[in-house]
């Protein structure tokens, strides 16, 4: 309760010009982050240029919480051994797994099968019913690099929503109340 009263006291003591300046500053930070994200989408060719590994299915290559950097250039052929992030119809969350088999047809169509390194069986059980192979249209991106465990913050915020809102409130309050010197 005391911290909340201090926050409101600080807001009341600010003049309108300072408050508008801080709100504008906050809006610029948010819009800059969105512009950087959209720029990454254009540069990488992937609708999601950065993803977090959510399970242990790719251990030891990637662990839960690793942050993956993706590209998705359609001219690049998909090869066995490559790690792809794909989205399956009926599932909201993309899956990070390795390509284990590739079938190329003479007309240029490619179909492929994936499997998690730490899984016993291939991914046919994860695909939509009746689907045995993935196609290029299913690929969100291909892993090009990673930062270990950096994505644990995202996992914690998803697992504990109250923590996420508290963190956002603290960050918002900091930006609004920070005074320029």
Residues with a catalytic annotation lie at 57, 97, 123
Contact between 100 and 122 under an 8 Å Cβ cutoff? The reply is yes
The three-class DSSP label of residue 163 is helix
Per DSSP, what are the bridge partners of residue 101? Answer: 113
Of 93, 113, 96, nearest to 57 by C-alpha is 96
44's enclosing H/E stretch is helix 16-44
DSSP class of residue 154 equals H
């Amino acid at each position: 309760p005391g911290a909340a009263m201090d926050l409101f006291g600080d807001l009341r003591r600010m003049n309108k010009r300072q408050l508008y300046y801080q709100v504008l500053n906050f809006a610029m930070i948010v819009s800059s982050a969105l512009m950087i994200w959209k720029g990454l989408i254009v540069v990488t060719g992937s609708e999601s240029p950065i993803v977090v590994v959510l399970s242990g299915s790719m251990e030891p290559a990637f662990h839960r919480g690793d942050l993956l950097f993706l590209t998705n250039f359609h001219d690049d052929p998909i090869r066995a051994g490559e790690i792809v992030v794909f989205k399956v119809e009926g599932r909201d969350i993309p899956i990070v797994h390795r390509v284990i088999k590739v079938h190329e047809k003479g007309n240029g169509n490619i179909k492929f099968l994936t499997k998690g390194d730490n899984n016993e069986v291939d991914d046919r059980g994860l695909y939509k019913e009746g689907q045995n192979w993935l196609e290029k249209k299913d690929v969100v991106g291909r892993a090009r690099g990673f930062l270990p465990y950096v994505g644990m913050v995202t996992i914690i915020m998803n697992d504990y929503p109250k923590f996420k809102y508290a963190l956002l409130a603290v960050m918002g309050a900091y930006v609004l109340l920070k005074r320029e010197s």
